[in-house]
Amino acid sequence: MWNEAARPFLKSSQLVVLGVVQEQHAERARLYAQWRQYSWPLAQDAVTSLNLASVPIAILIDEHGVVRSRKPRPSGLAEFVNTKFEAPKKPTKSKKFRAEFSDRTVSKVVAAGDKSLMWGQDDAALNDAIKSYARALRQASGRGKILFRLGVAYRTRFDSAGAQPGDFGKAVKNWTAALGADPNQYIWRRRIQQYGPRQNKPYPFYDWVDPAIAEIKARGETAIELRVALSGAETAPPFRKFVMAASDSIEPDPKGRVTRDEGLIAMTWTVVPAKVKAGQPVRVHIRMTPVQGKWNNEGDPLRIWIAKNSIGMTSQRQIEFKNPKEAESDETRVLEFEFSTPARVHKCVIKGYALYHTCVNKDGRCVYRRQDFSMEVPLLPR
């Protein structure tokens, strides 16, 4: 809408368009801009450092830096570009974006974290950002803006080569706490919903990616490659009602006869949101990473079974990961499902196991293994 309206004025150099995108993954924003054919500069604000509570917002700023309209219409652009605005008689001091934290030390520490996160080029800078935000949090406990930033830093490290176990879980935990501190922060709420259950989603979030890539290719261009693959949660359409798994699934190893994994494949999980009220749904992200083995793709696919004695309802009783074409591979596999916690419980536990074929790195033996899990869904006090 704005791109079209601004085009003639951009061409005649009467107007500058500047975009600021709330996006953690720069290449996703780059792909979006390529798809929409934005020719103007686009800045990234991954941590909501500009302290806005919601987007989209369009603002008209005159040649003196003064806001002339904060709710403009595309039809009003011509009048804006053709008006000569007087410079303010008194130089007005602009308000700062940066959150005024309880003291200057905290502000400085947060600023140092922002600098490391936004401008740092390596894992060391990311670790510095995490340290800065954690330090700021110790000095000003419970501050939403710091918690959100810390969540972004953990998620960024999770997506990097320097990922550490639990990074995604820590990101979700901090984002959940940030939203608890300020439930009206639309941008923070969207971040949780991005990875959360379908029942909480207002729309699919990244369903535009595949059509955008197709459209870009049809134009004869090479689409920007996404460094971080989209998770199932990020493209799943919203669904208002929790759909329980069919009850006719047959349990693959009811008597537990399959040999337990001896450390060949590591399993971690993250529950989103990090805490819920009893009766609310969560989305569970299970990650399985080869440690001392490789995936053997010639056998049955990797599958997760959600045990029937789990406390609550599951969206899928059994989740399968489609085998890649190669005979062996060593990628991290992510499997997701949704779980509805019962309304009147104090504790909610999801139990189950994974079954998979793996080949041992040490001696090349190919074996079939089982790995059990029991994950507690943290519940908010009733």
Partner 1 sequence: MLWTPAKTEVTVTKYIALIAALAFSLANAHAQLTEKSYQPVQGEVYPDFVLPSVQNGSRIALSDFRGSKVLLLHFASW
**Residues in 11-30 that interact with partner 1 by CB under 8 A:** 14-23, 26-30
Among 8, 11, 70, 320, binds partner 1 (CB under 8 A): 70
Q: At CA 44, angle to CA 41 and CA 50, rounded to 5?
A: 110
Please answer whether residues 146 and 137 qualify as being in contact, where contact means their C-beta atoms are separated by less than 8 angstroms.
yes
**Residue among 67 and 291 whose Cβ is closer to partner 1:** 67
Q: 192 in helix, strand or coil?
A: helix
Q: 228 in helix, strand or coil?
A: coil
**What is the footprint of partner 1 within residues 217-246 (CB under 8 A)?**
234
**Residue among 114 and 261 whose Cβ is closer to partner 1:** 114
Give yes or no for residue 111 binding partner 1 (CB under 8 A): no
The amino acid at 375: M
Give yes or no for residue 297 binding partner 1 (CB under 8 A): no
Stretch touching partner 1 by CB under 8 A, among 56-64, 131-139, 305-313, 349-357: 56-64
Stretch touching partner 1 by CB under 8 A, among 80-88, 213-221, 283-291, 367-375: 80-88
Among 181, 216, 226, 360, binds partner 1 (CB under 8 A): 181
Give yes or no for residue 190 binding partner 1 (CB under 8 A): yes
Question: What is the closest distance, in whole angstroms, from the C-beta atom of residue 371 to partner 1 in the complex?
Answer: 33
Residue 360, judged by CB atoms within 10 A of its CB (0-12, 13-18, 19+), counts as middle
Whole-angstrom Cα Rg for the chain = 24
Question: What is the closest distance, in whole angstroms, from the C-beta atom of residue 135 to partner 1 in the complex?
Answer: 18
Question: Looking up tokens 């150099």, which residue turns up?
Answer: 13
Task: Tell me how many residues contact partner 1 (CB under 8 A).
Answer: 77
Residue 181 half-sphere exposure toward CB, CA atoms < 13 A: 17
Stretch touching partner 1 by CB under 8 A, among 186-194, 247-255, 256-264, 346-354: 186-194
Give one word for 48, left, alpha or beta, with left for phi > 0 and alpha for psi -120 to 50.
left
**Residue among 103 and 251 whose Cβ is closer to partner 1:** 103
Cis geometry, peptide bond prior to residue 324 (ω within 30 degrees of 0): no
Give yes or no for residue 45 binding partner 1 (CB under 8 A): yes
Q: 169 in helix, strand or coil?
A: helix
**Residue among 203 and 259 whose Cβ is closer to partner 1:** 203
